[in-house]
Structures are given as structure tokens and as C-alpha cells.
Structure 1
Amino acid sequence: MAEYEGDERADLGVLVMRLGRRLLDMEQPILARHGVSMWGYAVLCGLAGGPMRTQAALAASIGADKTRLIPILDGLQERGLIEREPDPADRRVRLLGLTSDGRRLQLAVQADVRAGEEELLGDLTTEDRAAFLRALDALS
């Protein structure tokens, strides 16, 4: 791996875009195999930590436009992967959560994605991998 100093490296936006494309290329076949879209998987991951009080809160947490999220939620609900239940405290609000099938799918996709990530990160030393993941987490 090259050492970069000064202006000899590509801009961060270019590097992140290249990495993003590699990740998407790796993830698309996994998602297709599991029958879920990238946004569908993002919703499943967003709900993996527990129910969300509103669709707007979910959209904000995964960086999605709440109006474009509705058909994705409808599809996931039709497949029995998520539930939208009225909030007992405010019946105008829908609580969103994973069903047991949704949790199983989320974990299965995540396991396959993580295996792909391991392959992608395979050329890095353990120390470089840990530093990369810490830096990525801090910057994101």
C-alpha cells in the first residue's frame, strides 16, 4: 500500500466514492439472494435495535426521505418482516418494529455482508483494520 503525503493522494470524496462502489457491488448480489433492496435492508437494520416511535424517526435514523420510505415499509410489512402498530399513548402514531422473520432476515443478510467485508478488508493487518474501522466510525 502506498504512503500518501501532500497532494499525491486522491481527495477523500473520490476515495470514499470508490470504496462505496466496491461495497455496493459486493452487497447487491447478497441483497438479491435474500430478496431485499438496499433500503429494505437499511430499514431492517434501523429497527434491529428496537422499535421506532414514528416513520419519520426511522427515516432520519437511516438517512432516508420519509415520503419515499412508505412503499418500502409497505412491502416489508406485506412480507411479514415488520409491524406497524398504533401507539397506545397516541393512536395517531405508528410504532415500527421487526417481526421474528424480519429479525432472522436482517441477521442473515448482515452475516453475508460481514463475510464480504472481511474479504474486502482481508489485505489489511489486524491493526490497520481496527484503525480503519475506528476512523470510519469517527468520521461518519
Structure 2
Amino acid sequence: MLQPLVRALIDAELPVLARHGITMWGYVVLNGLRDAPQSTQAALAEKIGADKTRIIATLDDLQAAGLISREPDPGDRRARLLSITAAGDRVRRAVQGEIQRNEERLLAELTAAERKAFLSAAQRLSSLPVARILS
């Protein structure tokens, strides 16, 4: 039941991401770094639900674009600390704003009561642990 809606929302987000020169995973990474001033690659991967080796290309692209920085971890020279840059935060906020405007437009199709119930249910289901969803 949700698949057509989710697919359409993703399709609506892709041009927004393209206009800002990032991928969906790039946007996920920028959001993952938003609340973590510095994060190791392993901690970020866990936070966003990605394999740490699979996001390397995304991190390379974001770093090359000046949207994140990678600095050696003083506590572990094998690790790098990732941080979102000011430019990265501007891109993240711009993309988020465009996505939210589209979501608001879509939610305007619902009555106030339907919107409240939908958002409440979506928030509750989104907060479930992944293991609970998969089981």
C-alpha cells in the first residue's frame, strides 16, 4: 500500500538532489552529520544504516565538492573524523526545504484530521527499531 507513495516521493526528490549536485546517499550522509559535529565513518555508517565500506565513494564525492571534511582522528590515526562543512549544511538545508515544500503540497490533499492521523502513524512507525520492522 505504501510502495507507490514512497516510490513517487523518491521520484520527486531525485530532481531536487540533482539540482544541488548530490545523490540520495549524499543527502543521507549530510543529514547524518547534521547532529554529529564530528563522526567516524563507522559511527556514521551505523547511524544511517549503511555499510561503512559502501559509503566511501559517497564520502569522496562530498569531500571533493567541499560539503564534508575528513580529518585524522587524534585518538586513532587509522580513523578519520567526518564533519559537515558550512557549504554542506547550506546544501542540506536547501534540499530539505524543497523536499518539505513538496511534502506540504502533498499533505494539503488531506483534511486536517487525516493529516494529523497520518503524520502521527508515520512518526510512530518510523520510530520503531529496524529489527522490529524486519521481524
Q: When the two structures are superposed, what TM-score results if normalisation uses the length of structure 1?
A: 0.83
- Tell me the residue number matched to 1:50: 36
Deviation at 1:105, TM superposition (A): 0.4
Q: Does 2:123 match 1:137?
A: yes
1:20-50 Cα deviation digits (max 9, x unpaired): 1011111011111111111111111111112
Q: Which amino acid is the alignment partner of residue 44 of structure 2?
A: L
Note if 1:78 corresponds to 2:64.
yes
Does structure 1 residue 38 correspond to structure 2 residue 38? Answer: no
Unaligned runs of 5+ in 2: 127-135
The aligned length equals 126
- Residue 52 of structure 1, CA deviation: 4.3
> What secondary structure does 2:72 align onto?
strand
SS of equivalent residue, structure 2 residue 39: coil
Match of 1:105 in 2: 91
33-42 or 120-129, which deviates more: 120-129
Is residue 30–residue 109 contact of structure 1 (8 Å, CA) maintained in 2?
Answer: yes
Where in structure 1 are there 5+ consecutive unaligned residues?
1-14
Superposed CA RMSD in Å reads: 1.4
- TM-score normalized by the length of structure 2: 0.86
Q: What amino acid sits opposite 1:127 in the alignment?
A: A
SS at match of 1:65: coil
Among 97, 104, 118, the alignment partner of 1:118 is 104
Matched, 1:92 2:42: no
Identity %: 56
Match of 1:9 in 2: none
- 1:68 corresponds, among 50, 54, 57, to 54
Query: Take 1:53 and 1:31, find their aligned partners in 2: how far apart are those partners?
Result: 23
Secondary structure, in 3 states, of the residue corresponding to 2:55? helix
